[in-house]
A = this chain, B = another copy of it.
């Protein structure tokens, strides 16, 4: 927090009791995250800063409150999140998270950047300013994820460089294209070099990497990993000088596996993150507060868990006035009804109470207005059944994507399929459905077609513009008519999620902000989401996994083994497009 002479003068005067403070939270049991002890004292606040932790009761203030001996901890920090995964804009996202005590997040606007490039990142930065939450940005390092698809934007070092001087930009986000790092490709290294030159941080993405590869990451200056899934990986990252972000999100849940690696000696190198967490789960169970609860349940000393969630995250990202309750730090703190369950009674941001018992006292009044590029980002072609036809020779075997419910990885299987009039037709009994990825950014009219199994849809079609990472439209269907209706519906609502049956849209969640996010009030969004789930269950009564989540990652061509982009079926193992008609022997 940059200070003027005048604000410094006020803070010092208050600290010396020459003038009253703005606010005092009296009789608080305060977490000391530097020494891991509790101290009972008053928290004295002026100008959004903590001015004193005072045990004499001698300070005076304009306003005060009695904590009645309850625990007070620093505002929580999420070290790595993609806000778009919540389907909310940053300002609305803040309203959901702040009541849970999360006062600062470090976000990677990777999704909107794939749709709208720098304009998308700037929208996120601007909208973030509407929120009392501190929202810092790491610049997306891999847009698009591969050259085997058409995205809305391509971001090179020269595009990102001007953003490095933005006060809320902390560095370069998860460098996930490890082959290009380890091959020393110039365009990737240009991004790393410019970030280092700016004195900023570089996040890694060491999913499944061996220590030899992590070594290459470190040689390249990459400093964090949030993709550890085993204790051995976490220990390796720590021993190689990385910070480890223990992730507990909607899909990836690594906390219980990683927690045993935290010791009193190495604890300073661990922090928490959610990475991707959906709206309903954020509302229901929270985010970093949920991680603390899980850690306490798993047997971690509460103060240790709180340290990970506060000062450790602040130190990792160089936020030198955040994460502790001491004079000279920002007055972000949480009053707890109970420590063990981490039940949040009230939350203060920069010394102002903003939430009570899970509810914002004042919702964020305004959201950033979207530019046309962002609000009108869906440019789907008018397509016909012919466009969805998969020509197929009778008797041939088909290369089919087999999804694994709730997972990002898929299997490649070879099977016989039904063919009518020289083209594939879906077979719900065999669970062989049609899937299409339709380019929706630049009128390219590219449509990738594939056959998928594992979704178990018995009727109708579903479609969404949340289709990682390029966020084209992806549609899954039991018949072409419903698929066409679904695509048309996505165009009508400017992106989002739709459920279609018998030629009719059963439910939809419009996400007109880049086809990824909504700006409607939270309760409206939650209601739409509920109705969408109801509709989905009406055409898929036995559904027991995140169908839209699984569908959304079917188009991500960097995760094995078989994926579909708008330019066709893609074999991630060999990193090339392949044809649907298999030249291999069928499995059955």
Contacts and interface: CB of A to CB of B under 8 A. Distances in A.
Contact of A268 (B5, B39, B268, B324): B268
A16 B178 CA distance: 12
Contacts of A11: 219-220
B12 A328 contact: no
Interface stretch (A110-118, A185-193, A360-368): A185-193
A9 B222 CA distance: 14
A12 B182 CA distance: 6
A265 interface: yes
Contacts of A421: none
A372 interface: no
Contact of A216 (B15, B219, B324): B15
Contact of A9 (B15, B35, B184): B184
B186 A5 contact: yes
A266 B8 CA distance: 28
Interface stretch (A80-88, A91-99, A237-245, A426-434): A237-245
B266 A35 contact: yes
Interface in A144-193: 181-182, 184, 186, 189-190, 192-193
B219 A49 contact: yes
Contact of A34 (B12, B182, B266): B266
Nearest to A1: B196
A110 B215 CA distance: 41
A219 to B, nearest CB: 4
A424 interface: no
A55 to B, nearest CB: 10
A35 B190 CA distance: 32
Nearest to A197: B2
A240 B327 CA distance: 6
Given A8-B184, A315-B315, A219 B35 contact: no
A12 B184 contact: yes
Interface residues of A, number: 59
A4 B220 CA distance: 11
- Which of A181, A196, A328 gathers the greatest number of chain B CB atoms within 10 Å? A328
Contacts of A36: 265-266
A14 interface: yes
Contact of A4 (B32, B182, B193, B265): B193
Contact of A8 (B193, B315, B320): B193
A186 B268 CA distance: 37
Interface string A217-247: 0111111000000000000001111000000
A212 interface: yes
A529 interface: no
A351 to B, nearest CB: 13
A13 interface: yes
Given A15-B215, A34-B269, 18 more contacts: A2-B196, A3-B192, A3-B193, A3-B197, A5-B186, A15-B219, A32-B239, A34-B241, A34-B266, A35-B239, A39-B239, A53-B240, A214-B327, A220-B328, A223-B328, A241-B328, A315-B315, A318-B318
15 contacts: A2-B197, A11-B219, A34-B241, A35-B239, A35-B263, A35-B265, A36-B265, A36-B266, A51-B219, A218-B326, A218-B327, A223-B320, A240-B326, A240-B328, A318-B318
